[in-house]
Amino acid sequence: MGKISRVSSIILIMLGGIALISWAGTGYAVGMYEDGIEENCDSTVGTIAQITEWDDGRCQDARDTKEALESARPIMLAIGGMLAGLGMIVLIRS
């Protein structure tokens, strides 16, 4: 029983670590989207392209994707923290 709980705790810690790394990665991606939107969409040329629909909706798609990533970040942080914490508790108790 001790080996099973130790293996399961390591798996939980690894899954939590993956979720925490994906949380950090989405933070980086949100920053990249913000820079791209500011550079390409919020400039004078980008505004004209949006008004005349030359951008084919890419600026709005980028804004939507950025919002989706921002809304997923807290969930990833909570899941990662819970899995890593649960894994640590199981590891300490075994």
**pTM across the whole model:** 0.78
Q: Shortest CA distance to 77 belongs to which of 33, 17, 30, 29?
A: 17
- pLDDT on residue 45: 80
- pLDDT on residue 1: 57
Please tell me which residue, 65 or 53, carries the higher pLDDT value. Answer: 65
- pLDDT on residue 47: 79
In the chain, how many domains are there? 1
**Contact assessment for residue 49 and residue 55, using Cβ atoms and an 8 Å cutoff:** yes
Can you tell me the mean pLDDT for 83-93? 91
**Contact assessment for residue 86 and residue 12, using Cβ atoms and an 8 Å cutoff:** yes
Lowest-confidence region among 5-9, 18-22, 31-35, 70-74? 5-9
**Contact assessment for residue 23 and residue 80, using Cβ atoms and an 8 Å cutoff:** yes
Please tell me which residue, 2 or 6, carries the higher pLDDT value. Answer: 6
pLDDT tens-digit readout, 12-58:
999 999 999 999 999 999 999 999 888 888 888 877 877 787 878 88
**Contact assessment for residue 5 and residue 94, using Cβ atoms and an 8 Å cutoff:** yes
Can you tell me the mean pLDDT for 60-66? 92
Which residues span the domain enclosing 10?
2-93
Angle made by CA atoms 11, 29, 18, in degrees to the nearest 5: 5
